[in-house]
Structure 1
Amino acid sequence: MKKLLAILCFAVLFLQQAFCQDTIIKRNGDEIQGKVKEISATEVRYTRKELPDVMVVLPVTSIFMIRYENGTKEVFQENNPANELQQLPAVSAPARVNAPAPVADKATGENLLLKGRNDANLYYKGYKGAGTATLLTTILFMPAGLVTAIGTSVTPPSRNNLDYPDAAMFSQREYAKGYEQKAKKIKSGKVWKNFGIGFGSLVVLNFIILSANQQ
């Protein structure tokens, strides 16, 4: 039994590494999954999972933030002529309530929507409970994990679990809309990633058990 548990833990850790990618978030809201290789004052070089040998280059001015696979974040200052980076530790939103955030020159609906999405990328952490529940239920009983994944991924995060940094800003409809949309997308992505890790771990474990029984 202990051996099987050790194998299962190893499979979970292995698949977590396989699923983990750096996320490059552009200023227009687009997201790119890949592995960041090099950052200079003017450009970021990265590779995509499907093309690990092809180096892709993006100008720093087009990038809002990089969220690394280990949870740390790097924010690129839009108006900093030296293109200096602000390193953000992976901490919960309350610890960063007073952190300065770039604001749009004109508070148009489009700018507020984009700012809401960008702030959700920075501060939203409320997906952890749903992701952990999905992973555990999938490992214990895969059909239950599937039901959990479907239920939690389609359910928007509760207002009390959004971790937004500024209540006054969140009271603006377009900002709140962008923040909530992005938070739901982040939650759904994390839930299904954990379902994939749990399901993959079961496949690996069953394959090992089957191979051992045939020997």
Structure 2
Amino acid sequence: MKRALLLLLFFGLQHLLLAQDTIIKKTGEEIPSRVLEITLHEILYKHPDSLQGITWRMPKAEVFMVKFENGTKEVFEQQPDSMSGMAQDMTPDQLYALGKEDAKQYYKGNGAMWGSAASSMVMFPLGLAGSLVIGATPPKVKPEHVPDIRLLEDQDYLKGYKEQAARKKRGKALAGVGIGAGIQLGLIILIVSTLSAAP
């Protein structure tokens, strides 16, 4: 029994060590790797034989596709260097307004709400400080929170987006304070009613 378990463990570890992602460049070259992150312009990866070593960077413009160890694939389309059609013809004020509208639609800020709720539940008066910090921290603009990542290259669009996202984040943080305080109050009422009902 122990022998079978050791063999199973050995083959499982061997599979984990051999499992890897593959970066396929537009030239056709295949690079075995462990992909760590795919950013707006780069792919960050490590060589599978030195996972504790150097993090390598490759421009996304050179990559055709990444095949992940789980069988999924991500194909990168050739994107022009500048913003697409409609945005190129817009004035700075229009881009600023578009950024605000996109933030209203795409930025959620739910992390701020639940973080603020948890903070305010811990100790209501002291937890408010945590909620204030959460609400005051500038939101992170992620590529999945915009309809076209090329818009992030325009400073007017980005300014409008960040201002609206910050406003929305503060509102979500305030809602979180209400949720946390409501849960805390409900728990206090439940405990008091349970203790008062006890003989």
TM-score between the two structures when normalised by the length of structure 1:
0.45
Which one has a bigger Cα radius of gyration?
2
Structure whose residues are more often helix by fraction: 2
